[in-house]
Amino acid sequence: MKTLAVDIDNVLAASAESFIVISNKLFGDHITISDYNEDRQKMWCVDHKEAERRCEVLQANKYQKNYLPVYGAVQAINKLGKQYRLVLVTSRPKFAEELTKNWLKQHFDYNFGTIVFAGFWDNAKNSKDGHLRHKGDLFTQVGADIVIDDQLKHCEAAVETGIRTILFGDYAWNKANELLSGITRCIDWTEVIKELEIQ
Ligand SMILES: [Mg+2]
């Protein structure tokens, strides 16, 4: 059975849409989906200290708990789970593990055996350039044959190690004039199912 490494945020969870609503409410901003950026400091237009403070406020509010699944993700995972070994590789910090597992249980029937938390933001030293890190080594470690991720940098890191990659979604942050050979964009789960030739 081949191994499919799947991302969580903006692939299984409609994170950006949900995040913006929650963030605007907490901080009184008017950020839209086209402003969304994994580099929170840039997205909020604040200094590093303020970005850290806001991240703490968000965490205290357990903001990821109320994310909705991406349209079609639940059905697609059920189908894919019959033909692939599915592992999750997420940039979420280790402390979000319990919340993430509960969220997955709440929305998905599939029992994800392996969930890797990249830890790009796990401590203050890392958090400053967490957005620059990629999952390349982690994909290799979990033995991924195929990767599904919405971030170009992770897809590019995967194809560099010879892993076939699906760039998920048509988002403001993953626009590209040209994709590296080995990367195929699928704008939604229907396209993923077609691309992987699942019945
Ligand atoms: Mg993602």
Using the mean position of ligand 1's atoms as its centre, give its distance from the Cα of residue 149 in Å.
6
Is the same domain home to 44 and 80? no
Pair 40, 111 in one domain: no
Backbone φ, ψ for residue 85 (5° rounding): -85, 120
pTM passes above 0.75: yes
Mean pLDDT, residues 88-115 taken together: 92
Indicate the burial class of 162 (C-beta count within 10 angstroms; 0-12, 13-18, 19 or more): exposed
Q: Nearest to residue 16, comparing CAs of 153, 176, 169?
A: 169
CA of 25 to the centre of ligand 1 (A): 22
Distance from residue 105's CA to the centre of ligand 1 (Å)? 19
Dist. CA 145 → ligand 1 center (Å): 18
Kindly state whether residues 127 and 175 are assigned to the same domain: yes
Residue 27 CA to ligand 1 center (angstroms) comes to: 23
Q: Report CA dihedral (77, 97, 142, 125) to the nearest 10 degrees.
A: 140
Q: Give residue 20 CA to ligand 1 midpoint distance, Å.
A: 15
pLDDT at residue 129 in the model: 64
Residue 120 has pLDDT above 80, yes or no: no
Contact predicate 94/39, CB 8 Å: no
Same domain, 90 and 159: yes
Residues 41 and 87 reside in one and the same domain:
no
Q: Are residues 174 and 92 in the same domain?
A: yes
**Do 81 and 142 fall into the same domain?**
yes
DSSP secondary structure code for residue 70 in this structure:
P
113 and 41 in a single domain? The answer is no
Same domain, 38 and 74: no
Per-residue pLDDT band for 169 (boundaries 50, 70, 90) equals: very high
Cα of 10 vs centre of ligand 1, distance in Å, is 5
20 Cβ contact list (under 8 Å, min separation 6): 31, 32, 33, 35, 36
Are residue 59 and residue 112 in the same domain, yes or no?
A: no
How would you label 77-86 residue by residue, b for 16+ Cβ within 10 Å and e otherwise?
A: bebbbeebbb
Whether residues 34 and 87 fall in one domain:
no
pLDDT tens per residue, range 21-56? 999 999 999 999 889 987 889 999 999 999 999 999
CA of 53 from ligand 1 middle (Å) equals 23
Quote the domain boundaries for residue 115.
2-14+68-195
Residue 69: closest CA among 13, 118, 153, 1: 13
pLDDT 10s digits, 171-182: 989 999 999 999
Cα–Cα dist 3/124, whole Å: 33
CATH of the domain at 110: 3.40.50.1000
- Cα(15) to ligand 1 centroid in Å equals 8
Other Cβ atoms within 10 Å of 171 Cβ, number: 16
Q: Domain count of the chain?
A: 2
